[in-house]
Amino acid sequence: MGDGNFAIVRRSKLRGTEKEFAVKIIDKSKMKGKEYMLDHEINIMYSCNHPNIIRLLEDFETS
């Protein structure tokens, strides 16, 4: 779907339901010293509630 300096966004489907989602995959190695930016974005996305703004359903971190 798209990419930027720190992340790529891919289209995904939930198994069993085939419901479509956008998945943002962030390269943490490119965010060294800028982790606060990610925390800020996550907080903003969770607080947004508007039909024209994508909703953040879940966030998690992998190794």
Alpha carbon distance 33, 12 (integer Å): 30
Q: Where are the domains of the chain?
A: 2-47
Report in angstroms the alpha-carbon separations of 27 from 2, 7, 16, 48, 53: 14, 6, 28, 24, 23
Helix, strand and coil in the chain, % to nearest 5: 25, 25, 50
Q: Please, what is the end-to-end C-alpha distance for the chain in angstroms? A: 24
Cα torsion 21, 5, 43, 13 to 10°: value is: 10
Residue-by-residue pLDDT tens, the chain, 63 positions = 788 778 899 999 988 888 898 999 988 888 888 888 889 989 999 999 999 988 898 888 887
Q: Is the pTM of this model over 0.85?
A: no
